[in-house]
A and B are shown apart, each in its own frame.
Chain A
Amino acid sequence: MKAENRFTMSVAAKSANEGFARACVAAFAAQLDPTIEEINDIKTAVSEAVTNCIVHAYKEKIGKIYITAELTADNVITVKIRDTGCGIDNVEKAMEPLYTTVGGERAGLGFAVMQSFMDAVKVRSVVGKGTTVRMRKKISRRYGANL
């Protein structure tokens, strides 16, 4: 379905931008008049994807994170979060709950949260080139949507 509205932004892969990125996507999604739970689901999923870029994709360097969101007339938001970092060798393994490569206090639940809070999550990755996470969520139709 053709996008009724779209925005694109890029941010430096700094942890200080995690809150900024999820707030931007949430503000954009507000045009679909989501419930508080739906907006929180989107914020949480975006936070996980952006954090993955910072913690895993770029590790020691500060690269760029590219975020695109689209709204369609069937009340669906699609969010794409892309990095040009190290890429993921085994996407299936990386998406297993509790799997993490960095240790410390990372829970290894990033993809599990994205999958649980959004309707669909697709991950494409090429080692040495980067990773794109595409997430989709249908917002319950209410009366306030204003595309």
Chain B
Amino acid sequence: MAVEIRTSGSAVTAYLYGELDHHTAREMREAIDRAVDLNMPALLVLDFSNISFMDSSGIGLVMGRYRNLAKTGARLHIAGASPQIYKVMKLAGIERLATLEGRVKE
């Protein structure tokens, strides 16, 4: 399973697992969207602690979720980004769309 969903109050946290690329993004995206549609959270947390690799497909996933959340005014938070993921996120300017919290060491 590439995504584990946990809810707490008005927040939904999606714990992502494995490698996030064009091949795996679709399954993750669909699981997150199902949880958001079901719970209508005020905050969506995408937890990258267990993602071992991410390319720009992950940026597409984050930007797509941001666009969906913007319709309801919900916030987006990125947690657990490794230095490699953080570097890709920063290149894309994701911190303008979401709060971004990285891991200091791999």
Contact = CB atoms under 8 A, between A and B. Distances in A.
Interface of A: 15-16, 18-19, 22, 36-37, 40, 43-44, 47-48, 51, 54-55, 104-107, 109-110, 112-113, 116-117
Interface string B65-106: 000000000000000000110011001100000000000001
B63 A55 contact: no
Nearest to B92: A109
A65 B33 CA distance: 32
Contact of B22 (A15, A109, A112): A15
Contact of B60 (A37, A47, A107, A116): A107
A47 B21 contact: yes
A116 B63 CA distance: 20
A8 to B, nearest CB: 23
A48 B55 contact: yes
Nearest to B21: A18
B91 A107 contact: no
B59 interface: yes
Interface of B: 19, 21-23, 25, 29, 53, 55-57, 59-61, 63-64, 83-84, 87-88, 91-92, 106
16 contacts: A15-B23, A16-B23, A18-B21, A22-B53, A37-B84, A40-B84, A40-B87, A44-B84, A48-B56, A105-B29, A107-B60, A109-B59, A112-B91, A113-B55, A113-B56, A113-B91
Contacts of B61: 105
B18 to A, nearest CB: 9
Given A47-B55, A48-B55, A51-B55, A105 B92 contact: no
A112 B59 CA distance: 12
A94 to B, nearest CB: 14
A105 B55 contact: no
Contacts of B106: 36
A51 B25 CA distance: 12
Contacts of B88: 44, 113
Contacts of A36: 106
